[in-house]
């Protein structure tokens, strides 16, 4: 029997009819389990997740309606078909209202049952596919969804629009956190393949011993733990797009097999000699220098040229600093909306200047993480302050202050300069706490009395010196 056979629970107290149906259903590829009573059916449902249940309404003891309710409660996606005798159509219609897919009246032709089964299976497939496509569309990965108005981002969006309309293989390169998967999704959702699946596989996140099976699929018994036949990502992406992230981490053996897929558009599952044809667009990504890896002999040259048909390079965030403010607003809106209750939050100009002055080694992903942290530390306020940013940015602030405090030729009054910085920090803490000296002292790790004494001394000093 096929590994992909649908598992069916057949519940009927008429032994002759049940056994005849079971035999014919098995001949049509179904894996059938029989239950002569409602109690037996409940026991089977508790032990196994069936794809389909066919049950008579009239059963001794636990009736078919109770079996139906138990099946749908435990397995909401199960296909339930009711068999009803003469005079109980009203009950069958009522069962459909409670979740049954269809009903068939006795006596019936076996072909009629097959027709009902086929229709129910097709409806479930369409529902699943539509739900998947809706979830993909709701993610709204669009070219114009890539945040940025800098010249480099405008050029990138124009390139992605051009690339999306083609069927060519694309190689996206860029530092970690620059949004390579976002760009790949944008290509797919603006392409003729957008009605089909976008399937992603991070080659560096899966052990090398399992990556081949994950990519190509496997048959039962192909290796230890392969208890059933399974589709790989290539097969799942048929008619759609397969995104291979960090393709440079693939082993030489797997590189050779991927090359064959690109050349022949066919592959075999692990442990199987049957060739499967596939229509899929490959979009690969890497943060590594594949050309250097080719020169070093760690990446196949022929595969590199097959992947690099259309190269797309994503710029690091430090090369488009004018987009940082837009990205911050975008993340604040997105993350603020996800909070309960939703919050409308802004970034203070002082904090924004620090963000725009940072080099962002982790790029856009790091910026999003910093904004999320700052939002959490803002404790319900409507504006994020400099003190809400992380320690690495606080260090940047200190170094920026040192650079801004340029050293004049005539020298400076160090004591007055430090007093000025101290007074500025105290006033900012009081502004943030709306004049509450206890809370301001806590922000500065001071006692309340110490804060008051410092403030009086510093203000007297300022008046005297002026």
Other C-beta atoms lying within 10 Å of the C-beta of residue 142: 13
**pLDDT at residue 4, as a whole number:** 61
Q: Give the neighbor-by-neighbor strand order of the sheet with 52-56.
A: 31-35, 7-11, 52-56, 79-84, 102-105
**Token pair for 201:** 């596989």
- Residues 194-206, buried b or exposed e (16+ Cβ, 10 A)? bebbbbbbbbeee
The answer to whether 71 touches 45, Cβ cutoff 8 Å, is yes
Euclidean distance between CA atoms 157 and 144, whole angstroms: 7
> How far apart are alpha carbons 261 and 174 in whole angstroms?
25
Residue 228 exposure: Cα atoms within 13 Å on the Cβ side: 7
Query: Scanning the structure block, which residue is given the tokens 């649908």?
Result: 6
3-class SS of residue 275: strand
Handedness of CA 285, 291, 292, 295 (dihedral sign): positive
pTM for the predicted model, two decimal places? 0.58
Rounded Cα distance, 30 and 7, in Å: 6
Strands 266-268 and 275-277: antiparallel
Per CATH, the number for 318-406 is: 1.10.8.60
Interatomic CA distance for residues 321 and 247, integer angstroms: 29
- DSSP letter for 340, please: S
Find out whether the peptide bond into 107 is cis, omega within 30 degrees of 0.
yes
User: What are the C-alpha distances in Å from 458 to residues 195, 204, 413, 450?
Assistant: 68, 57, 15, 12
**What is d(CA 452, CA 126) in angstroms, rounded to the nearest whole number?**
70
* CB of 418 closer than 8 Å to CB of 454: no
Token digits of residue 330: 């975008």
- How much is the pLDDT for 73? 83
The CB density around residue 183, as the number of other CB atoms within 10 Å, is 26
Q: Provide the pLDDT for residue 121.
A: 87
Look at the block and give the residue holding tokens 């939703």.
342
Phi, psi (degrees; rounded to nearest 5) at 7:
-90, 125
Phi-psi region of 200 (alpha: psi -120 to 50; beta: other; left: phi over 0): beta
User: For residue 371, what pLDDT is reported?
Assistant: 94
Q: Where are the strands (E) in 157-229, listed by range?
A: 170-173, 198-202, 217-218
Query: What pLDDT is recorded for position 88?
Result: 61
Fold agreement (7-134, 146-315): yes
Whether residue 282 contacts residue 242, with contact meaning beta carbons closer than 8 Å, is answered with: yes
Tell me what pLDDT residue 326 has.
Answer: 85
Beta-carbon count within 10 A of 85 CB: 15
Query: Do the Cβ atoms of 180 and 174 come closer than 8 Å?
Result: yes
- CA–CA dist 350, 62 (Å, integer): 71
pLDDT score of 364: 93
Which pair of structure tokens corresponds to residue 439? 């809370």
Tokens representing residue 96 in the block: 């459909």
Assign domain 410-466 one CATH number from 1.10.3470, 1.10.1330, 1.10.10, 3.40.50: 1.10.10
Structural domain spans, the chain: 7-134, 146-315, 318-406, 410-466
What's the N-to-C CA distance of the chain in angstroms? 95
What phi and psi, each to the nearest 5 degrees, are found at residue 178?
-85, -10
Are the C-beta atoms of 232 and 213 separated by less than 8 Å? Answer: yes
Tell the CATH topology of 146-315: Rossmann fold (3.40.50)
pLDDT of residue 408: 47
Sign of CA dihedral 208, 209, 211, 212: positive
pLDDT of residue 402: 43
Widest CA span of the chain, in angstroms? Answer: 109
- Assigned CATH class of 7-134: alpha beta
Beta-carbon contacts of residue 331 (< 8 Å; ≥ 6 apart): 367, 368, 371, 372
Tallying the residues shown for the chain, one arrives at 466
Measured CA to CA, the distance from residue 213 to residue 223 in angstroms comes to 10
pLDDT by residue for the chain (466 residues), tens only, comes to 455 678 899 999 999 989 999 999 998 889 999 999 999 999 998 888 888 999 998 888 898 889 998 888 888 778 999 888 765 667 767 777 878 888 888 888 888 889 989 888 888 777 766 655 554 544 444 455 578 878 888 899 999 999 999 999 999 999 999 999 999 999 999 999 999 999 999 999 998 889 999 999 998 888 888 778 889 999 999 999 999 999 999 999 999 999 999 999 999 999 888 899 999 999 999 999 999 999 999 999 999 999 999 999 999 999 888 888 889 988 998 898 888 788 888 888 788 888 888 889 999 999 999 999 999 988 878 888 888 887 778 766 544 444 444 454 445 566 766 776 787 788 778 877 778 888 888 888 888 888 888 888 877 665 455 4
List the beta bridge partners of residue 195. Answer: none
- Give the residue among 179, 183, 148 at the shortest CA–CA distance from 325: 148
pLDDT value for 405: 44
Amino acid 441: pLDDT: 86
Q: At what angle do helices 110-138 and 15-27 cross, to 10 degrees?
A: 60
Residue-level pLDDT at 177: 92
């Amino acid at each position: 029997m096929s590994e992909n056979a649908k598992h069916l629970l057949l519940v009927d107290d008429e032994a002759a009819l049940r056994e005849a149906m079971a035999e014919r259903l098995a001949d049509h590829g179904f894996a059938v389990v029989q239950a002569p009573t409602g109690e037996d059916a409940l026991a089977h449902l508790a032990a196994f997740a069936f794809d389909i249940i066919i049950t008579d309404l009239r059963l001794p003891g636990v009736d078919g309606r109770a079996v139906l309710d138990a099946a749908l409660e435990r397995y909401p996606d199960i296909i339930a078909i009711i068999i009803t005798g003469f005079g109980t159509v009203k009950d069958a219609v009522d069962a459909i209202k409670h979740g049954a897919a269809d009903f068939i009246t006795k006596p019936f032709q076996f072909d009629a049952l097959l027709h009902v089964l086929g229709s129910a299976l097709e409806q479930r497939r369409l529902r699943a596919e539509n739900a998947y496509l809706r979830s993909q569309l709701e993610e709204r990965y669009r070219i114009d969804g890539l945040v940025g108005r800098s010249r480099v981002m405008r050029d990138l969006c124009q390139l992605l629009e051009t690339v999306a309309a083609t069927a060519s293989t694309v190689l996206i390169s860029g530092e970690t956190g620059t949004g390579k998967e976002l760009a790949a999704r944008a290509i797919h959702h603006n392409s003729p393949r957008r009605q089909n699946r976008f399937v992603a596989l991070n080659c560096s996140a899966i052990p090398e011993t399992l990556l081949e099976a994950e990519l190509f699929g496997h048959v039962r018994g192909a290796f230890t733990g392969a208890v059933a036949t399974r589709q790989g990502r290539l097969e799942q992406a048929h008619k759609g797009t397969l995104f291979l992230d960090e393709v440079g981490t693939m082993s030489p053996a797997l590189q050779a097999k991927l090359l064959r897929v690109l050349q022949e558009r066919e592959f075999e599952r692990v442990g199987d000699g049957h060739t499967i044809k596939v229509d899929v667009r490959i979009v690969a990504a890497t943060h590594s220098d594949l050309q250097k890896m080719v020169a070093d002999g760690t990446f196949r040259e022929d595969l590199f040229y097959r992947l690099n048909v259309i190269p797309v390079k994503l710029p690091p965030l430090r090369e488009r600093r004018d987009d940082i403010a837009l990205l911050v607003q975008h993340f604040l809106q997105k993350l603020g909306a996800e909070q309960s209750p939703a919050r409308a939050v802004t970034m203070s100009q002082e904090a924004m200047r620090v963000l725009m002055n940072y080099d962002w080694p982790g790029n856009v992903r790091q910026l999003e993480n910093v904004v999320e942290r700052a939002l959490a530390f803002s404790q319900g306020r409507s504006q994020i302050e400099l003190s809400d940013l992380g320690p690495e940015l606080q260090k940047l602030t200190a170094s920026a202050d040192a650079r801004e405090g340029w050293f004049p030729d005539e020298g400076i009054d160090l004591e007055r300069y430090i007093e000025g910085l101290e007074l500025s920090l105290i006033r900012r803490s009081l502004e943030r706490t709306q004049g509450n000296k206890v809370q301001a002292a806590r922000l500065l790790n001071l006692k309340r009395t110490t804060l008051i004494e410092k403030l009086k001394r510093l203000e007297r000093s300022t008046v005297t010196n002026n």
